[in-house]
Structure 1
C-alpha cells in the first residue's frame, strides 16, 4: 500500500483538493440550474476516452516520444484550425485505474513488493506434486486476503477520484459559437467538451473552466475580480483586466462570435504567476501578461459576467500542471521493513543452502541404505542432486513463516488509525474557524517522532501575519509612539558575533496605557476622520496627527506614496469601505494612509481616486484623481514596486521597497537623509518591526515619453520579456528622492516561545528562513526564544565569497575549539559534574547575499550550521529557501520538517520528506502540498 501513497497524494492534494473540495453546494445548485437547459450529452464519448487512455499509457512508457510544444498558437472561435495542433481537451483524469486496467495494474503494483512476490513464488512451489508437506491453500488464502485488502483500499480511493473527475468534467459551461459554425449563436455544454479557442461566458461565483484570456466583463473598464484561493492560498480578491481594444466588445455576442484574434504564447507550464503572450488582431500586436489571464481553479467574484478565450485546457492548465509533480515519499519505516525483509530472505537463503548441502551429502552417503523402506525403490532414478533440489523446495515451504505475510497490511492499518487519531485530536482543533488538524497522507505519521531539523517561515508562521502600522520616519524625522528605548545590541562584524543587552522598556506615557485605555486614546485622536478604520491600529503620536490635519508638505509626500503605490482593491460592504490586498503589509500601509486623511476610495485601470480633507477645513472632504500611467510590479527579485502617475500635469514616480534596494537608487541630495533613516531603520528592526523605504521621482514629459516608448517595445517581445522589462524598470527607477520609511508590527503567535523551547530540549535544530532584514530577524529570534541570552550567535553578512568563507571558517573553528575544550574538561571532572547542564549553545544568522555565496560552499556551510542549535537565514528568496532545505535533506540524510503558510513557502515545502502546515485559512496552497496540516 505504501507504494501507492504517492499517487494518492498527488491526486487528492493537487487537483482533487483544489477543485473538487471547493465545489460546494451553491456551485452545484448553479450547475443544476444550467443543466436543465443544457443540451443532453453522454458522459463521455467512448472513442475519445479510449484514445485518451491509450495515449496516456503510451507516453507513460515512452515519455521521450511526447510532442514538445515550443510555442502555442490559438485561433479564437476556430476549432477546425486549432484541431490541427492536437491540443489537450478539457477532460481531466486524476484516477489511476479503469475497469479494464484495475486488476492487472493493481496486481502488478502489489507484486512489486518483495514479500508479496516471495509468497507468489512459494505458492507456485506448493503446486508442484510431491514437494509440499502442506496444502497450497494455506498460502493461497492469506495471499489473496492481503491482496484483496489492498485492492479494496485502492479501489475505494480510486472510485472517489472517478466521482470527483466526473463531477468536475460535467459542470455546465456556456460557449459563444462563431459565425457559420452553427445557426445558433450560443451553446450550453459540459466542461469536458470545451476546447482551446472557444469563447466562453462566465457568471458571478462560477469556477473558471480553463485558463482563459479575458475579453470583456460587466464591470467598469471591464475589470474582472477573481478569488485565487485554490492557486496561491489567498482569499483576497485580485483584479484582471483585458486590453482596452477588446473591452468594448462587452456582451455583444455578434461581435464576440466575430472575434478572430490569434494568441501566440508560451507552451503549457506550471508558473502560476507568469504568462507571456501576444494577441494579433486587426493588424496590430498587443502584449499579454498575467493580468490578462484567469486560471482554472479560480472563482469569479463581484463580477456579473465576463467573456474569455480558452488558451490552455485540461491537463495543460497551470492548476493541473502543478498537481502532478509531487514525488512519493518513502519513510524510514518503509526502508527499515524492506531491509528486514531482505535480511530475512538472506537468512532463509542461508538456511536453505545449508540444508541443500547437507541433503547432498546425506543422499550420497546414506541415501541408498533407506531404499529398502521405499516400496517403489526400483522405479527411483533420481540422482542425489535432484533429490536435494526437491528437498530445497520442500524446505522452502516448511520455512515460509519466516517472512510475515501480513507485515505490510498490519503497518497500513496502524498508519490509518494514527491518521484518524490526528484528525480527531481536540487539542489540535482551531475553534475560531472550525478547522481540525489534517493528516493528508497515512504513510508518514511515524516520521513525526524522527525529526531532526525544522525549517520554518517567520511571517504568518511564527508571527500572526496581522500587520499594524506603528511608526514611520519622514525626511529624517521619526514619528510614532516610542515604545522602546534604543536596545544596546552591539554587532561585531569582524568576529561575526553579537551580544545581547538588557531588554528595552517603555518610556512614554502612551506606552504605559492599558489596552482599553489605549483604544479610547486612539479613538479620540482620530475622531476628526469619519473614514478611519482603527481595527488593529496602534499609532498614538498626537503631534504627528496634527501635522497630517494641517497638510504638512513632507507628510503629504509620504502618504501620497502609501496611498498610490499598491495593488489594493477597494470594495464597499454594507456601506463600509473594505480593502482587498495581496499582502497584509499593503493593507496595513493603505489603511494607515486612510486613517491619516489620505483615503483610497476607487481605482480603474487608468486612475486612482483619493478622498482628502480640504485644506483649511475640518470637515470638508474632496476627491482627487490621479491618472495611472504605468505600474512597475513587485517581485522577489526586484524587491520593490513603483507606480507612475499624472496629476495636475505633473508626472511622478512613487516607489516602495526593501531598504538596500531603494537606497542604491537614490540621488545625491538624499545622502544625509539616508544616513539618518538608516539609524531609524536599525532601531525599528531591533524592535522586531517590518520596514519599507519609500521614495519618489519627478519626471518631465520628454523623459517619460522616451521611457514609455522603450517600455512598450519591451512589453511585446516574445523572448525574455521579463528580463527586458526589468531593464526598462531599472532605468527609470534611478536618482529617486528619499521620502521616508515605514515600520509595521507583526506580533508573535500565541505559544511560539514555549513550543520552540520544548523543541530545543528535544535537541531538534530549528532553522528560520525569512525575507525580513537582519535586525528584525534577530529580534524575533530573541522574542521567540529561538535565540537565548547565553547563546553564542555568529553573524554572516559579508558581500563577497572570500569574506563569507572566512566568517564561516572562523565561526566553525570557534565552535570546534569550544567543543574540544569541553571534551577535555569533562575528562577531568567527576561523574556528577558531567551530568550537569551542557555548555552554551550556538546560533548563526546569515543574510541572503551571503547565503548566495555560502550555498556554493556546501561543506563548510553545513559543517558550521549543523553544529548550531538555531539558524536564521534573513533576506532570503523563495528559491533560496528551497535550496537550503534541499541541501540539509540531501547531505545530512535527516528527517526534515518544513513549516510554511503561503505560496512563497511552496518551494521549500514541496517534495520534502516530511511537511507540515502551521498556518490559517489564507494559505490553502501550502496546506494542499503538505502531508500534515494544522490550523493556528
Structure 2
C-alpha cells in the first residue's frame, strides 16, 4: 500500500494542539491506538457531582465582593472585634452564593445520555449495537435515516445513487435546509456489503482537529491510489441523516475533538461599560469604607485616651487592652464589619436578574416577530442589553440585511446586446409593472412557473439557436454547485447553497437549458428538448479571494470547455486581449445594471487543448492530495488554466429592499447613530441601494464612498494616516464601503472600535458577515436566506432589518434607563442605610455599637428593599414605546452616558449620606427630650433603633416611588408588600411568642408595639421622611421647569396625553351614564302616567 510516512516512526501521542497530521486506518484498532487518539466519550460540563461545590465556590470567590464578605465573615468570628452576630453576613452571602450556584449548575447541566446512545458498528464482519462512547477512531459505523451522527466520519457509501446522502446541520450551524454529501466513487461501490466493508483497509491522512466547520483537508490511500478528501465527503458529529435510508462511514475524529466540539461561533463578550464602571466604583466604595474605618478608629483612640480611662476601673478595661492605640486598632476592624453593607453584596446578582429580565422582554416582543417565517427576536446574550441603548456606529451588510436576498434573474448582456428591458411600438423604453405581459415559456414543459421575464426577444434568440446565446445559458446550467431534487409529484426543485446560483440555474431552466442530474463525473442537461450529458472533469471552487467559480467539462462531441462566472473586475483581468471591444461594451451594460441596483456577474468561457489539460490535471491531482498549502497550490493552478478567457456576457439579478428599511435608517439617523454600509457589490450597485434606503440624497455634501482595494491599502498604512482616514469618514453623514471582503469588513469595525470610544454594532445575515459581527461590541444576526451562521455568531437575532429600530430605540433605551436608575437607587439606599452607624459612632464613644437590631441589618437588603428596586429596574419607562420611536433624539443621553457616570454616582451617594444624616439626627434630637404619653422617658436604645429603622424603610420606599415613572401592579405589590412585610416581621420579632421560642435571640419583647404606639414617634418619622424627600422633589421640579431635557419634555407630553385620554374616558362615560339616567327617568315617568290612566279608565 502506497502510504508515505511523514512523521517518522515516533508514534508517541501529541497534544491535540501539537498534532500536525492525523493517520487513521480503517478496521485497525491496534494501529490507531498507537497514536493514543481520544475515544468517543465527551464531557462538556465544567463540573461533576463531586467537584461542583468546591470548584463553583472557588470561582465565585474570585469576585471581589464575595471574597470581601468572606473575609468579613471570618472577622465576625473573632469576639474581640465583632459587635455583630455571624448571621448578619452569612445569610446574605449564602443567599447570593446559592442563587449564583443554582444559575451556574443550570447553565452547566448537560445530559449524559448522549454517551450511552447506540450506534451500529462493524466488528469482525458483523454489524452490532455499540454505545457512542465505545466507538473508536477508524471504526466503520452504519447510520440510518433520522439518526444523529455519532462522530466525525468519512462517508463511504449510502443507499442513494452515486453515494449521495442528505444531512441536516441545525445542531452545528442552525441551518434547517438539507445539505448534500457525496462519497468517493471508489468507496461508494462498497455499498452495504458487510464483507467488502470489513475488508476495507484504506488509510486517511488529514489535518488535525480544528474549528473550521466548512473546511477539511485530507487524502485517502487505498489500493496503491490516493484520493483527495474535502468537507463535502465528511459527516460531522451532531448532524442528522435525512431522506437517506442508510449510509456507512469511517470515524476520523472522536470524543472531545470532533469539529462540533471545537466550534466557537459565539464571541466572548469583551468590554462592557456598565460592568467596568461598577467595578471601579466598588473599589472606590471600598476605599471610602477604609477611610471611615480609619476615622472612627482614630476617634476611638483619642476618646480612650481622654475619656475612656475614667471607666477602666470598674470595666477592668486594662486587662483587655494594652493601650488606646490597640483599642483603636480593634475598633477599625469592628467598624469595617459594621459598615460592610456600604459595599453591596447583592449588586452582581441583582444586575444579572435585571439583564435576564430585559432579555426575556426582547424574546417576548410580538412586534419583532416575523410571522412569515415564524421567527421571533432572540437575545442570545444577557450581558449587553444596556449597551443597546448606547450605540453610535452601525455597520451593516447589504445583501440579505438591507435587501430580501430573494434573487430574481432580471436582465443580461450577451455578446454586447442587453436583454430584459421592454419597449413600446415607438421604440421607447417603458417601465415594467405588474400589468406588463410576461414571456410565454410554454414551449418548455419543464419551466418554473414562478419565473417571470418580460423581454420576448431573448426567447426568440433561443429559438433561433443563436450560438452565443445558447452558450450563455449552457454556462449557467453547468457552472454551479446546485443539486436537483425531483419530488414525488414530478416537480423539479433545486437545492442551492446561495440564492444567486438558484436564480441563475432557474433562468437557464426556463430558457431551455434544464439542469436535470449530477454525478461525481457527469452533469446532465435537458437542452431544448434533448438530454445531453457532459463529463465533469474539474470544479474550480469559489471563495472570497478568487471571487469566481469555474468548471471544466467535455461535451458529447469530445470538446474540452472551461466555463467561468464571477465578479466583473476579476473576470475582465483574465480575458484574452481580443475581447477588448466587447469588454468595453459589457462594462457599460454592467454599470447600467448596477445603477439600477442589480447584482451583476460576468460570464466567460475557454476552449482547452487536450495535451495542456492532461498536463494540468496531473498537477491538480498532486496539489489536491497534498496536505501542506493545498489551498495556495490549487489557487495557483486554477489561475493558470483560467487565463485567456473569452467573454460571453453578464447577468443582472434583482434583490429588492426589505420592507421598512428606508424608514428605519432615517429614524436611526435622527437618533445620531452613524450607519456604514459594507458590501462586496460594485460601486454603482451600492450607491443605488444607498439612494433607495435614504442613506444618500441629492442634497448631501458629505458622503464617503471607498472601495475595498483602497481600504486595504489604507488599513495597512501608518497609524497617523489610518487616523486621518477614520476622521474623514466620521465627518461624513454617510459612509459606504464597496467591493470589500469579509476580512476588510472586520477591519473597518476594528478601526472604529480602536480609535473611537463608542459602542459599535454590526448586523449581517451570512457567513461572510461573521467576522464583522464578532469584532463589534454588539453583533446582530438576520435569519435570512444564507443560513444561520451569522445568527449563531451574534448576540441578538431577528428576521428583518426594520426590527433593529425597535431593538435600539425601545428595548436598548429602556434597558439603559432602567439599569442606570437601578444602580443610582441601589447605591443611594445602601449609603443611607449604612452611614447611620458612622454618625452614631461620634455619640457612643466610637465603641463600634450598631444603631439597628441585628435582624434588621440582615434583612434590610435581602427582604425589605430588594424587590421594589428590582421591579423598577425591570418595568420602569420614562416614556412609552410610541414616544421612544416618535422622538429618536431621546436616544442621545445613552450615547453620552449621561444617566450613570462618576458624577451621577457621586450625586446619588451624596444624597445617601445626607439622608443618613437626617435619619440619625432628627430622631436623636427628638429623643433627647421626648417622653411617652404617661410622662416616662422614651430614650431607650431599642426604641431609638425602631424609630430610625422605620423611618429608613419609609424614606427609601418614598424615594423609589419618586424614582418610578411607570407603575405596574407588580411595582405596587412589591412596594406596599415590602412595607407590610417589614411591619409584620418587626412586630413578630418583638412578640411574646417568638421570645418564648428564642429568648436569647429576641429579648426585646414589646419594644415595637410600645414605641410605635406613641404619636410623637410617628411625628418624628413623618418629619424625617419630609426632610429627606422634599429637597429631592424641589430639585427635580426646578430642574424640569427651568432646564428640561428632551426626555423631560417627552415625558410631560406622554403624561398629558394619558391625562387627556383619562379625561375623555371619564367625560364620555359620564355623559353616557347621565343620558341613560335621563332616559330611564323619562321611561319611569311615562310608565307611571300610563298606569294612572289605566286605573282611571278601569274604575
TM range (shorter): 0.7 to 0.9
Pair 1:471 & 2:392 matched: no
Paired with 1:88 and 1:898, the residues of 2 have a C-alpha distance of 38
Post-superposition Cα deviations, 1:182-235, rounded to whole Å, max 9, x if no partner, equal xxx112122222221111111233332222112112222222333344445554
1:690 to 581, 584, 599: 599
Which of residues 342, 346, 369 in structure 2 aligns to 1:429?
369
Bigger mean CA deviation after superposition, 234-243 or 708-717: 234-243
Where does residue 540 of structure 1 map in the other structure? 454
- Inter-partner Cα distance in structure 2 for 1:913 and 1:93: 31
Q: Deviations over 1:583-642 (max 9, x none)?
A: 0000000000011111111111111111122xxxxxxx2111111111111111111111
Asked if structure 1 preserves the Cα contact closer than 8 Å seen for 2:204 and 2:218, the reply is yes
**Offset at residue 306 of structure 1 (A):** 1.5
Task: Decide which structure has greater strand share.
Answer: 1
* Separation (CA, whole Å) in 2 of partners of 1:284 and 1:651: 26
Backbone CA RMSD of aligned residues: 2.1
Q: 1:90 to 1:890 in 2, by over 3 A?
A: farther
**What is the TM-score when the length of structure 2 is the normalising length?**
0.69
Aligned partner (choices 395, 398, 402) of residue 455 of structure 1? 395
Asked if structure 1 preserves the Cα contact closer than 8 Å seen for 2:266 and 2:792, the reply is no
Cα contact 1:581–1:587 (8 A) shared by 2 = yes
Out of 787, 811, 821, which is 2:696 matched to? 787
Q: Structure 1 residue 608 and structure 2 residue 523: aligned?
A: yes
SS in 2 for 1:434: coil
Q: Which residue in the other structure is 1:68 paired with?
A: 18
- Alpha carbons of 1:554 and 1:595: their partners in 2 closer, same or farther (altered >3 Å)? same
Take 1:363 and 1:104, find their aligned partners in 2: how far apart are those partners? Answer: 44
Deviation, 1:89, is 2.2
* Matched residue, 1:313: 254
The structure, 1 or 2, with the larger RCO (C-alpha pairs under 8 Å, 6+ apart) is 1
**Aligned position for 1:19:** none
1:216-270 deviation digits (Å, cap 9, x = unpaired):
1222222233334444555444333233222221111111111111111111111
Cα distance in 2 between the residues matched to 1:669 and 1:579:
36
Q: Does residue 103 of the first structure (1) align with residue 60 of the second (2)?
A: no
Paired residue for 2:742, among 868, 878, 891? 878
* Counterparts in 2 of 1:895 and 1:566: CA distance versus 1, 3 Å: same
CA displacement at 1:367 relative to structure 2: 4.4
CA deviation digits over 1:70-95, x for unaligned, max 9? 11111211222222222222223222
Distance in 2 between residues matched to 1:554 and 1:248, nearest whole Å: 40
- 2:328 pairs with 378, 388, 391, which one? 388
> 3-state DSSP class of the match of 1:463?
coil
Deviation at 1:65, TM superposition (A): 7.6
- Does residue 843 (structure 1) correspond to residue 843 (structure 2)? The answer is no
How far the C-alpha of 1:911 sits from its partner, in A, is: 5.5
- CA offsets per residue over residues 433-480 of structure 1, 9 Å max, x none? 222111122222122101111121111111101000000001111111
- Counterpart residue number, 1:746: 655
The change in CA–CA distance for 1:571 and 1:430 in structure 2 (over 3 A counts) is same
Correspondent of 2:232 among 291, 301, 310: 291
Which shows bigger deviation, 580-589 or 524-533?
Answer: 524-533
Q: 2:445 aligns with which of 530, 533, 537?
A: 530
Larger-Rg structure: 2
Matched, 1:371 2:312: yes
Aligned partners of 2:269 and 2:128: how far apart in 1? 42
1:241 aligns with 2:182: yes
The separation in 2 between residues aligned to 1:729 and 1:233, in whole angstroms, is 32
SS in 1 for 2:579: helix
Structure 1 residue 716 corresponds to structure 2 residue 666: no
The one-character-per-residue Cα deviations of 1:366-385 (angstroms, maximum 9, x if unpaired) are 5434424x431452451232
Q: Could you say if the C-alpha distance between residues 761 and 287 of structure 1 is closer, same or farther in structure 2, counting changes exceeding 3 Å?
A: same
Flag the 1:556–1:65 CA change in 2: closer, same or farther, 3 A. Answer: closer
Structure 2 counterpart of 1:60: none
Q: After superposition, where does 1:183-222 map in structure 2 within 5 Å?
A: 185-222=126-163
Cα contact 2:412–2:650 (8 A) shared by 1: yes
Structure 2 SS opposite 1:387: helix
Stretch of structure 1 that moved more, 848-857 or 597-606: 848-857
TM-score relative to the length of structure 1: 0.80
Structure 2 residue matching 1:680: 3-state secondary structure: helix
CA distance in 1, matches of 2:775, 2:46: 21
- Look up the SS of the partner of 1:910 in the other structure: helix
The corresponding residue for 2:994 is none
C-alpha separation in 1, matches of 2:398 and 2:499: 14
Note if contact 2:321-2:327 (Cα within 8 Å) is conserved in structure 1.
no
2:506 — aligned with what?
591
**Cα distance, 1:483–1:319 mapped onto 2, change above 3 Å:** farther
How far apart in 1 are the matches of 2:334 and 2:295?
A: 14
1:394 and 1:893 map into 2 onto residues whose CA distance is 43
Q: Structure 1 residue 286: deviation in Å?
A: 2.1
- In 1, the alpha carbon distance for the partners of 2:317 and 2:183 equals 95
Deviation at 1:324, TM superposition (A): 7.4
Determine if contact 1:229/1:922 at 8 Å carries over to the other structure: no
1:270 aligns with 2:185: no
Contact 1:531 1:599 in 2 (8 A): yes
The 3-state SS of whatever aligns with 2:394 is: strand
Q: 2:84 aligns with which of 124, 134, 138?
A: 134
Q: Deviations over 1:55-82 (max 9, x none)?
A: xxxxxxxxx9876211111121122222
Q: Aligned pair in 2 of structure 1 residues 370, 463: CA closer, same or farther (>3 Å)?
A: same
**Counterpart residue number, 2:664:** 755
The answer as to whether partners of 2:484 and 2:492 remain within 8 angstroms in 1 is yes
CA distance in 1, matches of 2:194, 2:711: 56
| Gap change, CA 1:80 and 1:362, over 3 Å in 2 | same
- 1:625 paired residue number: 533
Once the two structures are superposed, residues 698-721 of structure 1 have per-residue CA deviations (whole angstroms, 9 ceiling, x without a partner) of: 112112112112211222222111
Q: Is the 8 A contact 1:481 1:540 kept in 2?
A: yes
Aligned equivalent of 2:344, options 404, 415, 438:
404
1:853 is aligned to 2:713: yes
* 1:300 Cα deviation from its structure 2 partner: 2.6
Task: Tell me if structure 2 keeps the 8 A contact 1:900–1:917.
Answer: yes
Do the aligned residues in 1 keep the contact of 2:216 with 2:231 (CA within 8 Å)?
yes
Contact 1:173 1:200 in 2 (8 A): yes
Aligned to 1:356: 297
1:83 paired to 2:33:
yes
| Structure 2 residue matching 1:356: 3-state secondary structure | helix
- 1:700-746 superposed Cα distances (whole Å, 9 cap, x missing partner): 21121121122112222221111111111111101010000000000
CA contact (8 A) 2:173 2:792 kept: no
Q: Does the CA-based 8 Å contact 2:746-2:775 persist in structure 1? A: no
Tell me, in whole angstroms, the C-alpha distance in 2 between the residues paired with 1:247 and 1:637.
Answer: 33
**Structure 1 residue 271: deviation in Å?**
1.6
Task: Note the C-alpha offset of 1:560.
Answer: 0.9
For 1:65 and 1:610, how far apart are their aligned partners in 2? 50
Shift of 1:850: 1.1
Aligned residue-pair number:
779
Aligned to 1:550: 464
Does residue 639 of structure 2 align to residue 730 of structure 1? yes
Output the CA distance in 2 between the equivalents of 1:242 and 1:596: 32
The 1:512/1:441 distance shift into structure 2, 3 A limit, reads: closer
* Structure 1, unaligned runs of 5 or more: 1-63, 180-184, 485-505, 614-620, 793-841
Distance (Å, rounded) in 1 between the aligned partners of 2:727 and 2:184: 54
Q: Distance in 2 between matches of 1:560 and 1:532?
A: 16
How far 1:113 moved relative to its partner? 1.8
Q: CA deviation at 1:354?
A: 2.4
CA distance in structure 2 between the aligned counterparts of 1:596 and 1:457, rounded to whole angstroms: 32
Unaligned runs of 5+ in 2: 1-13, 801-1099
Q: Give the stretch that moved more between structures: 403-412 or 539-548.
A: 403-412
Mapped pair 1:153 → 2:103: yes
Picking from 39, 42, 57, the partner of 1:92 is 42
Is the CA contact (8 Å cut-off) linking 1:533 and 1:591 kept in structure 2? yes
- Other structure's SS at 1:333 match: helix
Name the CA shift for 1:92/1:778 in 2 (closer, same or farther; >3 Å). Answer: farther
